[in-house]
Amino acid sequence: MKSTQARPASATLLFVLVTVAVILLQSGCSLVGIRSTAEPNYSLMQNEGRFEVREYEALVLAETLVDSNFDDAGNIAFKRLFGYISGDNEAASEIAMTAPVMALDENRTSGEKISMTAPVTGQETPRGWRFAFVLPSGYTLTTAPVPGNPEVRLTQVPASKVAVVRYSGSWSETAYQENLKNLQQWMRQNQLEADSLPRVAGYDPPWTLPFLRRNEVMIDIKS
């Protein structure tokens, strides 16, 4: 839920300026579509235009749940997750930012396994949007700093095969839903069976020129 405590205008502006400055340094030339941010390792199993099947290695995520609409949830989640990699953790250490930022709609109902976001504790989670940062390779659940914010947690994702569709433009819920339909149709044509709920992934900061942005919809598939 949104906080009802007002943030002074000067404090809000300072937070935005610092966030922008740090992300610009970490994102290199992302304004013009040149990315220097690390990405998770994967093997390309199938390539058909905008559609791919990838095999990912195991990943460690920092994730948070927000019960709100897509746009508001993204803003709230980003502040939490960016705080974690910026030093809001028990080790007070900074963690290199990686791409993509991922989101999954917890309000969607399905009997399918959600291997991408299953919590390590196995506890039932609130419904809402689940956003996650992928931690750099080399981190494990035991070596990654413990989050200082109780609303941020670490989880491990096993190695998996993933169906993906790439698209540019706005990282919006409308674009997500449109490309999700395209991916699901392609999966049916290729007889690929879903093994998770869909998620949307963004690889660029919001100031990147829209036609140069890289967004993806991902769905785990059964082997």
**2 lies in some domain:** no
Count of the separate structural domains present in the chain? 1
Q: Give a yes or no: residue 4 inside a domain.
A: no
The string of pLDDT tens digits covering residues 93-105 is: 888 878 788 887 7
* Residue 3 located in a structural domain: no
Q: What is the pLDDT of residues 19-64, one digit of tens each?
A: 444 444 444 444 444 455 678 889 999 999 999 999 999 999 999 9
Q: Give me the phi and psi of 66, to 5 degrees please.
A: -135, 125
Q: Does residue 207 carry a pLDDT above 80? A: no
- Residue by residue, DSSP assigns 131-159 as EEEEPPTT--TTTSPPBSSTT-EEEEE--
Mean pLDDT of 174-190: 95
| Residue with more model confidence, 95 or 14 | 95
Question: Has residue 158 been placed in a domain?
Answer: yes
| Span 110-135, average pLDDT | 48
Residue 1 belongs to some domain of the structure:
no
192 in any annotated domain: yes
Tell me, yes or no, whether 50 lies in a domain. Answer: yes
Does 171 map to a domain?
Answer: yes
- Residues 212-222 have pLDDT tens digits of 888 999 999 99
Residue 166 CB neighbour total at 10 angstroms:
16
- We report the CATH number of the domain holding residue 31 as 3.20.80.10
Domain range for 110: 9-221
Does the pTM of the predicted model rise above 0.85? no
